[in-house]
Each structure stands twice: as C-alpha cells, then as structure tokens.
Amino acid sequence: MLLASASPRRSELLALTGWPFEVLATDVDEQPRPGEVAEELAVRLATGKALAAGRGRRERRIIVAADTLVVQGERILGKPIDALDAREMLLELRGRTHRVLTGLVLLSPDRERTIIERCESSVRMREVPLPEIDRYVASGSPLDKAGAYGIQDADFALVDRAAFGDCLANVMGLPLCHLARAARQLGLASPRDVPAACQSHLDYDCPVHKEILN
C-alpha cells in the first residue's frame, strides 16, 4: 500500500490497520475553484494526490490518499499561514460547531478502479479562554493542521471529547472504517480488527463504526 501523504497523523492511523505501507508525499494545488463546495474540493484534492503518487510508478500497490477540510459555515479553513492566522481561526471556531470533511480515494493496483469515500464529523469547540489559545498557538502545534487545531492534542483539550459523537479518526485526517470499507471493495481485508484498534489507540468509544462497516 502507498500512502500519498506526509502527515504523521495519517501514518499513525494507517499503521493501526496492520497493512504494510510506504509514504510518498505529493504536492497539489489546494486552492478551491470558483463555486466549488467543500465536499467536492476534498474529493478532488484526494484524487489529485492519489494520481500524483501513482504517476510513473510501476509497482502494483493500492494507493491511498485523503484530504481533510475544516468548514465553519461556508468558509473553508485550511492550514494557517502563520501564528496570527492560527489565532484568528481558533477565535472563529471557539464556542461554535463546525464540520470536518474528509475525501478518501483508493486507486487499485492496476489503476483501473477508483474508490471514493466521504466522511463528515460535527465538532463543537469549547469556549476556550484567550490565554489558553495564545499558549496553544505559541506551542506551534496548530501551524500544520487544517483549522489550526488537532483534536488529539491532549495538552490543549479544545474539544470536549465526551460530547463528541462522530468519527474521531476523521478529524485527525484518516477515517479508518471508511478506509476498511473502501479496501474491501478492492478485495483487501485488514489483518486486524480496525474499529477495535482505532478505539483502543484513540481511547474513544466510537458510536458510528458499526453503521459504517455494515
């Protein structure tokens, strides 16, 4: 398997499946097209990453690519350009509910089949005090994350996980049950119990995995 992403979080999650994989970072233009909605953008970018990873490579492996977007209202929040941008994003998100969308694309080893999955999670950020936001921004953690936050950052619990009820791995960038479902369509079964491995690793009792996989 080939993972078309340099994200350490995606590598961390994909490793839970038990599938051996290689990481190949790809570079695509992430600017939305005029009138393009977030759902379309996520799938288009994931597809572009998958195709870029497969270009010129002859080995027969499944290619996995994903793109995750944070959406507040109609505004798509990408990775912040600097600390000030990160702070402004967090101020916009705090105390409000936003959406996290992932487009997931798998290319078959012969490149003749493309499997597309979409996952959406609803996330409410607590009313984070300003000093806490400033400490989080100063840590540097928000700068490589869409929406300027990582739900897995335990030192800065921006989200009340006890009130969260969707796919947590999706918010981290790779919805594993959707991945397992897509891989199944290509005849590939995981050597591990994916929902169990994901929940154990994230310390999260997922209420949606059965619906996704059945």
Report all structural domains of the chain as residue ranges with CATH numbers, in order of start. Answer: 2-213 (3.90.950.10)
Render pLDDT for 62-72 as a digit per residue (tens, 0 to 9): 999 999 999 99
Strands 63-72 and 2-3: parallel
Output the pTM of the full model: 0.93
Q: Quick one: which H or E segment has residue 198?
A: helix 194-202
Q: Which is the catalytic residue, given 27, 29, 67, 193?
A: 67
Radius of gyration of the chain (CA): 17
Estimate the share of the chain in helix, then strand, then coil, as percent rounded to the nearest 5.
40, 20, 40
Q: How far apart are CA 96 and CA 123, in angstroms?
A: 8
Cα–Cα distance between 198 and 38 in angstroms, integer? 26
pLDDT, position 131 = 95
Pairing assessment for the beta strands 75-77 and 114-124 based on DSSP bridges: unpaired
**Please, which pLDDT band fits residue 57 given cuts at 50, 70 and 90?**
confident
Residues 6+ apart with CB under 8 A from 22: 1, 2, 3, 61
Give phi and psi for 167, each to the nearest 5: -75, 115
> Model confidence over 82-134: pLDDT tens digits?
999 999 999 999 999 999 999 999 999 998 999 999 999 999 999 999 999 99
Looking only at the bridges linking them, the beta strands covering 75-77 and 63-72 are antiparallel
> Residues 129-186: pLDDT tens digits?
999 999 999 999 999 899 999 998 888 888 887 789 999 999 999 999 999 999 999 9
For 2-48, write each residue's pLDDT tens digit: 999 999 999 999 999 999 999 998 888 888 899 999 999 999 999 99
- For residue 17, what pLDDT is reported? 97
Spatial separation of the C-alpha atoms in residues 93 and 1, rounded to whole Å:
35
Active site residue 67: yes
